[in-house]
Structure 1
Amino acid sequence: MSESRETFFRQGSWMLTATFLGGVLMFAVHFFGGWMNRGEYGLFVTLLQVLNLIMIPALGLQTVFAQQTAAASSDDEQSNLAASIRKIFLICFIGWLTAGGVALLVESPILKALKAGDPLPIYLTILIGLPQLCLPMLLGILQGRQMFGWLGWAAIANGAGRFLAVGLLVAVFSWQAVGAVAGVLIGLTVSCILAGWHSRQVWAKSLALSGQFHADEWLRRIVPLTLGLGASQVMLSADMIAARNILSAADSGPYGAAGMFGRGLVIFTAPLAAVMFPKMVNALGDSKTTVLGQAIKGTILLGLLCCVGCSLAAWLLPDLSEKIESLAAKQKVISEIGALLPFFVWGMLPLALANVYVVALLAKEQYRGVPMLVAVAVVYAVALLWLAIKPEPPDQQTIVLTLGGFNLIYLGVANRLAKRLAS
């Protein structure tokens, strides 16, 4: 095995391990859903997907920061990078204040759409918006510097902080959705502090003083990246927000629980694309195709293992729960989750693969195909809106099948665009 290939798999293995540990801790948070009623748990899962959409502006920034950090080699480039990072942090802070103020002005319609009786979870979600915007940028710096060690520890810290905080606030203090959302805030804050500390040399004030911020250059990169990665984020998260509006508050709980496994598959396989990104930035000739091929093969393997494992679990768990006293009381909910789980994981597998192609395209600044990706996401959002306003609301499986169908279309478009990169 060549040194570069060995390094790729070593770094990829660490990122998979770290993301797996962080992901397990984040998923373990949903264990505390047993201390919440179905409606409150459904609200919590919906707000998590709202946060994913809030993060869309920062997704482009993470990728640009990774690109620029990986490419900055001279003293002037590093100074310009530091100045740009500080300026963009300020812009994001002002944007967060503005968006938060607007959300507070339209509080009543938001509460009605989300079927939320208490506004406090909404207030906390707005507050979470700031670290949610900052963290991807900090992670992008670590990714671009290929500091995969601390990049992985930041993921673990996010999961561990969230798990411990939610466990305390929900299971001990019975704070329901409020406690769960507050736990997310704590986990994100811990991760931000860790990532910010270990990336501080890149955006140090001493460097920024002699640097310049070229807004037009950053916008040229950020806009297509934000649109491209934002399209993937819509494909990942929009169904839960629609389901909360379409289904009853109680039914949104089991739907959200099954959906978290499907979304977890996408998140679990994402580290391979994260390791691939800075290598694609600097790849020349045939090496870019090799790196992309390695990431795709790894994603297929991991994705299939997850899908088969979840499908077997969905088949076996209802029968096992009858024999386990602690689960017998939740037999109905477990059966509802199990009925949806295979649809969700297989429906999300195409998105996991599509994201690898999308990241490869964006790493090489192949932006011409971004409008096609956005078009698929927009049509998907319109389809969900149509389902929401139908006189006869669709059932849960119809929503999931809509998700899976559009993810297949999204994969087809991303694959076709990636073939142009290889040619």
Structure 2
Amino acid sequence: MRDSSTLRDKISGFSSGGGQIAVAMAIMNFATYAYTILVAHTVGPASYGAFLATMNLLIIVSVASLGVQATAARRIAADPEHVGQIERSILGVTYRAAAALGVLLLVLSPVVDRALRLDSLPIAFLVAASAVPVTIMGAQAGILQGERRWRALGLLYIAAGVPRVAVGAALLAWRPTELWAIVAVFVGFCAPVVVGWWALRLPQRREAYSQEHRGRAILWESVHNGQALLAYFALTSVDIIVARNVLSDHDSGLYGAGLILTKAMLFLPQFVVVVAFPSMSTVEHRRRALLRSLSLVAVLGLAGAVATWLLSSLAIVFVGGAQYAEIEGQLWIFAILGTVLSLVQLLIYSVLARQGRRSILIVWAGLALIIGLGLLVSSIGALVVVVLGVDLVVLAALLVVSAVILRREDTAMGPGPVSLQ
């Protein structure tokens, strides 16, 4: 009876945590999308190009933040007895890394300005300044995620989106330029750091020291996590670069519109990864957490793809309207592509949770295949088939590797009850 009660408590905890994070991330993503639309309508096409280029660079910079977040969440979930030491080490490493990254980007500001054709050194300076709070936020989010403090983590995610819109609307009403649009982004990056500081303001108790959680070990794990996530982001983004090189401007624009739906389907189940990752970091819960998460993401993706197929006229409005009508009949394929990428992301985080190394080579190989095969096509349909086909191969390979490793872990653990968490 007691085991049944514990099981219900864990299911209830997962559900409530998932619900809170789902709502918070939905608010964050909607606010981010709304701000992008606001900038596009306010600053004009030429300035919007500079804004978009800057935001793409900041996405690359944020890989360091995500690497630190994964490290913090995994270590705290896997070794809760040393949460105080891990928190102090993570924050110490992150503060130094954030400062170093900020200084490096500050030195490279003239290069960034010229490479992105910004014609504005202040914007390049803001990229360097933004790197600091972005990286610190990753550590704070990882600590809260590892401790399963879903409410505080949800507030942090909301703070990452809403202040950007509020401050940005005011600044753009005053000065509708790309510079002030990026100023609002910088302020928006600082807001969640304040929330994270408040949530973590009470220091954890000091426990016995563990060599495993030294600063150097944390730094190297964060670097590994960062390169794995960089491979994933490259896999999800390289097709639009290929499209710009093999398709006409008109067709590459249509393909880019389809990718809006792909990104929506990719971000829709993002909360599943956040909630499941701590459980995937513990051997006894890893298999169940991964299976449940894969099933949930697949169901959400299937529902989204079917809805896109049945309501294609509504979906085309979402991706840009009547001017993109030529792509309407293929939107359901882009929805499936987003779901496949979401499943790949979940498996990559599973690899990070068990600290796998060689599995990430599959992702890098997939990236090379998309580039190599994509450059041989000359139509939207052919390109999306190539990208989807390669991503399915990557997904299948990661599934096989994960199944083999999890079976070995189950064998090593021996028979016994498996908790649901």
TM-score interval, normalised by the smaller of the two chains: 0.7 to 0.9
Query: Which of 297-306 and 396-405 deviates more?
Result: 396-405
Scaled by the length of structure 1, the TM-score of the pair is 0.79
C-alpha separation in 1, matches of 2:166 and 2:179: 15
C-alpha separation in 1, matches of 2:256 and 2:168: 17
Q: Structure 1 pair 407/361, CA: closer, same or farther in 2 (3 Å)?
A: same
- Structure 1 position 189 matched with structure 2 position 190: yes
C-alpha separation in 1, matches of 2:326 and 2:72: 42
Q: Structure 1 pair 376/91, CA: closer, same or farther in 2 (3 Å)?
A: same
Q: CA deviation at 1:68?
A: 2.0
Identity of aligned residues (%): 20
SS in 1 for 2:269: helix
SS in 1 for 2:201: coil
How do 1:10-89 residues align onto structure 2 when only pairs under 5 Å count?
10-32=16-38, 33-74=40-81, 78-79=84-85, 81-89=87-95
Identify the residue that residue 228 of structure 1 maps to in structure 2: 228
How do 1:1-400 residues align onto structure 2 when only pairs under 5 Å count?
2-32=8-38, 33-74=40-81, 78-79=84-85, 81-105=87-111, 107-111=113-117, 116=118, 120-170=122-172, 172-173=173-174, 175-201=176-202, 214-240=214-240, 258-284=258-284, 287-312=285-310, 314-316=312-314, 333=323, 335=325, 341-380=331-370, 382-383=371-372, 387=375
C-alpha separation in 2, matches of 1:164 and 1:276: 31
Give the number of aligned pairs. Answer: 397
- Which residue, out of 398, 401, 404, partners 1:414? 398
Identify the residue that residue 327 of structure 1 maps to in structure 2: none
Q: CA deviation at 1:257?
A: 5.6
CA contact (8 A) 2:280 2:353 kept: yes
Amino acid at match of 2:71: V
Scaled by the length of structure 2, the TM-score of the pair is 0.79
Where do 5+ consecutive residues of structure 1 fail to align?
A: 322-329
Q: CA deviation at 1:242?
A: 6.1
C-alpha separation in 2, matches of 1:101 and 1:225: 25
Q: CA deviation at 1:63?
A: 0.8
C-alpha separation in 2, matches of 1:248 and 1:36: 26
Q: CA deviation at 1:141?
A: 0.7
Q: CA deviation at 1:363?
A: 1.2
C-alpha separation in 2, matches of 1:180 and 1:261: 25
C-alpha separation in 2, matches of 1:351 and 1:109: 29
Q: Structure 1 pair 352/80, CA: closer, same or farther in 2 (3 Å)?
A: closer
SS in 2 for 1:2: helix
Q: Structure 1 pair 317/107, CA: closer, same or farther in 2 (3 Å)?
A: closer
Deviations along 1:83-125, one digit per CA (max 9) or x if unpaired, are 44213321331133113312424532332xxxx5555544433
Amino acid at match of 1:300: A
Amino acid at match of 1:197: W
Query: Which of 116-125 and 251-260 deviates more?
Result: 251-260
Where do 5+ consecutive residues of structure 2 fail to align?
A: 1-6, 408-421
C-alpha separation in 1, matches of 2:357 and 2:98: 23
CA contact (8 A) 2:72 2:86 kept: no
Amino acid at match of 2:270: A
Identify the residue that residue 417 of structure 2 maps to in structure 1: none
Amino acid at match of 2:294: I
C-alpha separation in 2, matches of 1:27 and 1:241: 21
Identify the residue that residue 324 of structure 1 maps to in structure 2: none
Q: CA deviation at 1:194?
A: 0.8
Q: CA deviation at 1:296?
A: 0.9
CA contact (8 A) 1:53 1:234 kept: no
Q: Structure 1 pair 84/317, CA: closer, same or farther in 2 (3 Å)?
A: closer
Deviations along 1:264-322, one digit per CA (max 9) or x if unpaired, are 322221211211111122341xx43222111111111222233344455542466x89x
